Structure 1
Amino acid sequence: MQATVATFSAETRSGTVLLDDGRRLSFDASAFDRSGLRMLRLGQRVVMRVVDGRVEALNHIALPLD
């Protein structure tokens, strides 16, 4: 699933993404830590694994999730 970064806190390593259908999902530090990234920019496109409405993993759209 793809989305756009809406908010990101480098301090808490958490934020929200906006799905293409307008829904907003939150992600926590554990989902961000799985990415191996150091930062996300507002407006950046990401690919995510969502399980039961919860973001389990996310990464830059050009990079694999695992």
Structure 2
Amino acid sequence: MQATAYTYDPRTRSGSVLLDDGTPLDFGAEAFDAGGLLLLRPGQRVRIEVTIEVTGDGDRRRITLLTLQTL
């Protein structure tokens, strides 16, 4: 799935992306580290892998991998 980097904190290596429909989705350091990235700037196109966790309150999406989108 593709998205656009929205926020990134280099201190915590976490941030958020905007899906193509405008939905924000947070990512943690684990997803950032799994992709092998060193830096991320808002506006960059990224590829994400998402898992869906089923909870009592409904489904929750979690980014497990974040890489730069290349053509």
1:57 counterpart residue number:
65
List runs of 5+ in structure 1 lacking aligned partners: none
Which position in structure 2 is the counterpart of 1:15?
Answer: 15
2:20, 2:29 → 1: CA distance? 23
For the residue of structure 1 that corresponds to 2:12, the secondary structure is: coil
- Number of equivalenced pairs: 63
Query: Mind listing any 5+ residue stretches in structure 2 that lack a counterpart?
Result: 53-60
**Higher alpha-carbon Rg:** 2
Residue 62 of structure 1, CA deviation: 1.7
TM-score (ref. length: structure 2): 0.85
Give me the whole-angstrom Cα distance separating, in 1, the residues matched to 2:36 and 2:62. Answer: 19
**2:37 equivalent in structure 1:** 37
User: More strand per residue: 1 or 2?
Assistant: 2
Please list every run of at least 4 consecutive aligned residues from structure 1 whose deviation after the TM superposition is greater than 3 angstroms.
none
- Taking only aligned residues, the RMSD between alpha carbons, in angstroms, comes to 1.1
Percentage of matched positions with identical amino acids: 52
Aligned equivalents of 2:36, 2:46: Cα separation in 1:
13
Which digits, 9 at most, give the CA deviation of each residue in 1:19-49, with x for residues without a partner? 0101000000000001111000110000000
